[in-house]
Each structure stands twice: as C-alpha cells, then as structure tokens.
Amino acid sequence: MRKMSIWKADWLVGLLVALFFLFSAGSDLMQSLERKAYDLGVRASSHLPSDKVVVIAIDDQSIANLGRWPWPRATQAKMLDLLAQGHAKVVGNTALFFEPQVDPGLAYINKIADALGKSALLNNAEPARQSEPSQIDALLLEAVQNLDNDQKLSESMTQANDVLLAMFFELGDAQGRPSKPLPDYVQKNNLANINDPAGLGMAGVLPLPAASVQYPIPLLGERAVGIGHLNTLIDVDGAVRVEPLVVGYYDQLYPSLPLLLAAKSLNLEAKDIQVNLGQGVKLGNLNIATDSSLRMHTYFYRDREGKPAFQVDSFFDVLSGKISPDKYRDKIVLIGATAAGVGTATVTPISAGMAPVLTLAHSVSSILKQDYFIVPNWSSWAQIGVFVLVALYLIVLLPRLSALLGALITGGIFIALLVTHFMLMTTQAMWLPLMLPATMLLVGHLLLTSKYFFMSEKGKIKSDAESAESNRMLGLAFQGQGQLDIAFDKFRKVAIDDSLMEVLYNLGLDFERKRQFNKAESVFRYMAEYNPRFRDLKDRLAQSKAMSETVILGGNSGKSNASTMVLDRVGVSKPMLGRYEIEKELGKGAMGVVYMGRDPKIGRVVAIKTMALAQEFDADELEDVKARFFREAETAGRLNHPNIVNMYDAGEEHDLAYIAMEFLKGQDLAPYTKAGNLLPLPKVLSIVARVADALGYAHTLNVVHRDIKPANIMYDAETDTVKVTDFGIARITDSSKTKTGMVLGTPSYMSPEQLAGTKIEGSSDLFSLGVSLYLMVCGKLPFNGDSMAQLMFRIANEPHVDILTVRPDLPPCVVQIINRALAKKVTERYQTGAEMADAIRQCAASLQG
C-alpha cells in the first residue's frame, strides 16, 4: 500500500516534470520555443536603422523591364557607373560571380580569332596584305569589347573603386590542408589582427570552421576593394537570427560581407579589424559583442508607419534615370534580389520571408549602430538557477498549497519570468533564455491540477470539456488548412451551442467557395436541427440544395448560363478556383469561360481561363489531354516578352482545368476587322509588327502558337499595348474531336500545312498572321468557301483573293508583305518573325516618308 501511495504522491509529479524538461532542454522543440520568445522580444524593442544603408532591389519590376535574371553583367556595370557618378560611399553586391559570363556571340568571336591567328592574315606572312588583317583585327577587337560582359563589369569596378563582392564557405571541420592556396585578392581580406589573451584558441574556442570556399573569378575579384563571406546560419526552427562575423578557413580568418561593408564605410581595411576570440570584434571605436563563435545576434528593424525600415529602390528606376544617382552620395548601397523566385527568402524575427539583401542591410545597420543583442557570460548559470528554483517550487511548495493560492503564485512566477525576459531584451539588448523554466512551470502546474480533478467527478467533467475543446481546436485547424470534411467531423464531436453555430456557418460558406454545395447543404442542415432561425440559415439551406444540382464555373457544353447564374446570385460566397477568388465572368470561348479573379494573398487581379476537359474529351483521351495541358502551360509560362501575355499559374480543381494569366485592359482585335471599324493602316502595321516580334521570340524557344487570329491578340488603344494570348491552347486541344463534336481551331486562319496535318513550325503562325493582316486591312478574309471543305481546299490549293480587288488604294509594299506571308510554300514565306516585323516596319517608314 505504501508503494502505491508513493506513485500517487504530488511531489513525484513535480519531480518527473523537472526531469523531463531537464533532458529535453536541448531538443529542437524547446530551442524553437526559446527562439519564438526571442522573436517576440525583438519585435517588442524599438530602434531606428542607420540612414546610411540603402538597397537597390532586383525586383519584379526590374525583371519585367530588363528580362529574366541573371542579366548580362554589362547591365550591372552600368549601375556601378551611375553609383560612381553619385559618389556612393561603398557598394555591396550580393550576386555570386563564381563563373565567367560568356556571351554566345563572344564564344564565336574567339573561335574566329583563333582560326585567323593560325592563318597568314594575323601572322603577317605577306606584308602586302597587312591592311586587310588590321581591319579584321579591329573588327574582332570591337566585337570582343562589346560582348565581353565580365570585362565591362571589371572596368566599372575599377573606375568606382568602392565595390565589395561576396564569397561563400562550405561550413564544416577542415581535414588536412587546402589543395591550393587562396588567390591573393581573397587572402588580402584575411583578418590577421587577432587578440587572444585568455588562450581561448588553444582551448578550441574558435569561429565557425570551413572546409572549402567559392570566390569571385579573378577578373572581378581583383577589382573588388574587399570580399566578404555571405554565409547565413539557420536556426533549429528554420529562421535566421545571427550573423557569423568571422569564419575560419584552416589557419586563416575571414570577415562576413556585412562586417567588411561596415569597415569600408568607416574607411577601415581588413587589417584594421581586431578579432577578440570568444568575445567579439573591434571595428575602430566600435566593440561588437558576440557569442563564443563570433556570431552576432542581429537586430531586425521593424517597418514604421507603413514605410520599410530601409530605403529600397528598384534597380530599373535607378538604371532608367527615374532616380538620380546623387541620392546615394556617401551611402552604403546594397544591390541584391527581392523578386519572387530569385534567391531564397529567409525567415527572420520580423518577417516570414525576407530577401537576403534585406537581411544584409539589417546586419550592416546592427554593426554600425551597435543594436545587436548579447548573451551575457553568466546566462548559463542564471538559467540553471532559475530552473532549480522552479523545480523546487513544483516538487516541494506547490503540492502543499490550495488550488487558488497555487494558481496565483504560479501565475505570478510565470509573469515575472516573461517580464524579466522582455525587459532585458527591450531595455538592455540582452537575451536570457527563460522559456524552459517558464514552460516547465506551466506544464507542472497543469499536470498537478489535472491530477486533482481526475481523482474526482469534477475531474471527469473537466476532461470531457477539454476533449470537446480539443476537437473544436482541431476542427478549426483543419478548416484553416482547407481540409473541410475532416473539420466537419471534428465539429460534430462537440456539443453544439451558439458559439459553435458561428463556426459551422463559416464552414458552410467555405464549402460554398469550394463549389461543394452538397456538403454545404449538409452543414446547414445539421445547424438547422439545433436552431433553424439562425441568421439566414433557411435561405442558405434552400440555396445550397438548389446549387448542389448546378454546374458551377463549368464549360459551355449545354449549360451556357450556369456560371453567370452562380456568380450573380445574391448572398452566395465568391467561388474559388485554386487560390483565386472569382470576381466576374469576362467572356466565353470554345471550351470554357474566362473570369476575372483575384489572388487574395497578394491582391493581384488575374484573368482565369477555364477548360472543362472532362466534358469535352472522351475518357480514353482525358489523361493524355490533361498531361498535355500542364506541359503546354509550363512551356507557355516560360515565355517572357513585352508583347506576350504573362502566365502565372495553372491547375486543376474538380472537373476544371484552369490557367491564371495577366489581366489585360482593352479588347481583342476582332471588332477592328469589320469593314466600318478598321484601324488606320499605320496603326495596323504597328500592331502586326509587334505580334511578329512576339512570334519570332516564341519560335526561337521552339514554341508555336497554332491559332493566331485577331481574337487572340489583345490591344489597348489608350496605352497602345499589344499582347498575344493563348499560347499553347491550340496544341492542348489538338487531339481528334471533343465529346460535343466541336471542331477546334479556326480554319480561316490555318496554314496549308496545318490543314494537311503535317509538322507545324513557326512559319505556320506567320501565315496565320498574314491572314489577320489581310483581314484588318480590308475587312475581308483572303479565303472564302460555301462549306468548310471548300474553304479548306482553297486554302491548301488556290491563291488568295488579290487584296487590290478589295482595296485598290493599298500601298505596294503592304501588298508585297501580304502576298509573301500567304505563300503556299513554306520556303517562299518569311522565315522568322523578326524578318516579317522588319519588312513591315520598313514599309511603314516608307509610307511616312
């Protein structure tokens, strides 16, 4: 009996809790909890960032205007030239120049130079012909100078003389000796001023070790005024909180890029940086306290009044002259990517996704303003002392107290620990990890309290209540993750009351947004059993029942009004396709409906083209069509041209495949093909030339449109913007017939080879563009027929109607362009879009003259 009473003793619960937390102190869970509390302390403190630090961002706007990243390094050279004109103090470039950037044209020039070098032309074997080689030499030299982007960047760096570059270490214990010494331009950044009065180096207290290193190519590295490492350290929860100011590479120490930037801004060199092993780094008069591995706890500055902590300017705005270089006089300028998909965003105490260049800005400002956090040397002893005191309270004191008094004292201790944690961080910039004893205090108190209740009927009631609350919280968690069916199951295990009715009502609305009206009806019916007069439950129930039999956001197959009926219904929650909210219908095509949608996370308005593939294709073709859909959508999504509509996303939900693309103003060109509504000839030529440019670009990437026609060309008259739409859609639907027997494609615009079913290349699109040009010039098609078969025969075998019979005043150059574009033989047409665009522009120029 005595043995059983020991196991029931209250002090044993406290002892077991203390032992559990003692052995779990180093676990990822506890360390993550400590760091979440650290993040709250960072956000609770307030410091102003250095106004000397500015960021020039390689953002989405810059990429949209300058093309995909990486850009030619000559572009970055132009930026350095501008910053040199503006007299920036120091420039930190986060791009990694580990490999040369060789322009394809430069490679050919080098081959030509090699070939000529072996001939008599450059060997001067025949003096009489020396004039000819010298001209070739000059041309080759000029070509090399124009195409060698690395040389241009190197020259700009030399002229600026204020650029710092980045290197990257592979962290880990080095074995043996390095295979080769680092280049001189890297070794000049070695930190040789080391202070170790306590002999910590002998005791193994050293900075983070590295086994290998990647550094800039010599052409650029030799022109940099400094090279610092850009390594980041990820905490156990995936966030970045510390900056490794120094990394050890065998017997050498190298600074981080933020440390070197701060030094250069103070007119200091690497030799002026003093490393105090186990304590910190001294930078002039600045003493930067770190942990024993020389890692600084960076302070992250919060945005203020809706403005970012640091001045962030678009790379394109600076390059295009919208922002004057004088703005950066005496500034520390950091150049780096913030665009989506370029680089890897990191989690920080103030952001769930911060671009590396912004993290760099916070680190530089923390060094210059000494806003970092410190962990005092006595912190370990303090943590042990607090842990022991809380353990003694749980084992000895708490079991002797009444429930009310125990709750008051536990609450007081817990608040004292939290206040101490936050006061030290906000007033002393000191981090003392106290979440382990605080969590142990709460868990121990809850376990002892639960033990009291489980020993009585009251404990059973409490247990039931906690179980209900657990199901409620689980249901809310699953609902937040979009797992609505599981959420409904959890909610049905909770006793229904007025508060749960609110939760269930929102669940029903979520089912409506997912177009699962039958499940929404089940939720509303379950609610009606408790209170049928709740809000508009009666109307919702009737509406869901009716909607469960309606095709929502479907195709046109026999139900042309289904989608608009649902979107216009008052009281119905906005439907969702993937992550997009559907706002309204824009129009209908051969296979589906086009909607205006919105991405609620970033507020971007998009056009969403839907395809009810299951309605249009037989089951044996469906899987192949779906695979082709996503393959073609991916291919079209890689196109990046000012005259091609941008595709953002593609997906499938229930019976619908969809593509989210750029929302365009204006309208397609179909209305401008009517005889009474034709555009002026110069405007038509301008539009068609840009379409030819877009097609030429796509053809170089082996992407053929297959359905060029005025309806697939968007034009905004206000901004004179032209965009080609529906790349890849024709190929997606290019399999036999659909279930409805619908003929896909537009025969009037098809090329002869397209009608013949032979291999389709870019020249087919140019033929279709020629048909469109013909129609937009005179208002009539070049081929007509009383039947589909007759039309197709004439396209394949008969010449087009001479346009001069329709419009005699047409200039000869326009007629020549149309005739060549509509040639039956592929070899007689324009071979590239660029060729056709050039011919059109030459014609337009001659008309203006």
Residue that has been written with the tokens 């008069």 in this structure: 285
How far separated are the first and last CA of the chain, in Å rounded? 113
Which residue among 707, 716, 726, 765 is the active-site one? 707
Buried b (16+ CB within 10 A) or exposed e, 787-803: eeeebbebbbeeebbeb
Q: Are 92 and 229 contacting, i.e. CB atoms less than 8 angstroms apart?
A: no
Amino acid at residue number 587: G
**Is 150 part of the annotated catalytic residue set?**
no
Q: Are 95 and 56 contacting, i.e. CB atoms less than 8 angstroms apart?
A: no
**Angle at CA of residue 120, ends 119 and 125, nearest 5°:** 155
- The residues facing 333 across adjacent strands are 54, 91
Q: Please give the structure tokens belonging to residue 654.
A: 């229930």
Cα–Cα distance measured from residue 783 to residue 116, given in angstroms and rounded to the nearest whole number = 54
**Angle at CA of residue 75, ends 69 and 77, nearest 5°:** 130
Q: What is the DSSP string of 423-492?
A: HHHHHH-B----HHHHHHHHHHHHHHHHHHHHTSHHHHHHHHHHHHHHHHHHHHHHHHTT-HHHHHHHHT
Buried b (16+ CB within 10 A) or exposed e, 8-37: eebbebbbebbeebeeebeeeebbbbbbeb
Residue that has been written with the tokens 């029931």 in this structure: 8
Counting DSSP H helices and E strands in the chain, the numbers are: 32, 26
Contacts of 165 (CB under 8 A, 6+ apart): 93, 97, 216, 220, 221, 224, 226, 227
Cα–Cα distance measured from residue 99 to residue 150, given in angstroms and rounded to the nearest whole number = 10
Q: What is the DSSP string of 800-829?
A: PPPGGGT-TT--HHHHHHHHHHT-SSGGGS
Cα–Cα distance measured from residue 740 to residue 737, given in angstroms and rounded to the nearest whole number = 8
Cα–Cα distance measured from residue 678 to residue 779, given in angstroms and rounded to the nearest whole number = 7
Q: Are 430 and 373 contacting, i.e. CB atoms less than 8 angstroms apart?
A: yes
Q: Please give the structure tokens belonging to residue 122.
A: 């450059």
Q: Please give the structure tokens belonging to residue 315.
A: 């790379």
Beta strands per DSSP E along 242-369: 242-244, 246-249, 252-255, 273-276, 280-283, 286-289, 295-297, 311-314, 332-337, 346-348, 351-354
Residue 374 backbone phi and psi in degrees, to 5: -120, 150
Nearest to 580 by CA among 494, 515, 655: 515
**Length of the chain (residues):** 849
In 3-state terms, the chain is what percent helix, strand and coil (to 5)?
50, 15, 35
Cα–Cα distance measured from residue 327 to residue 321, given in angstroms and rounded to the nearest whole number = 12
Nearest to 609 by CA among 587, 576, 637: 587
Q: In what order do the strands lie in the sheet with 667-668?
A: 667-668, 713-716, 721-724
Cα–Cα distance measured from residue 705 to residue 697, given in angstroms and rounded to the nearest whole number = 11
Interstrand relation of 90-93 and 332-337 (parallel, antiparallel or unpaired): parallel
Interstrand relation of 273-276 and 252-255 (parallel, antiparallel or unpaired): unpaired
C-alpha 788: how far from chain center: 47
Residue 69 backbone phi and psi in degrees, to 5: -85, 145
* Catalytic site positions: 707
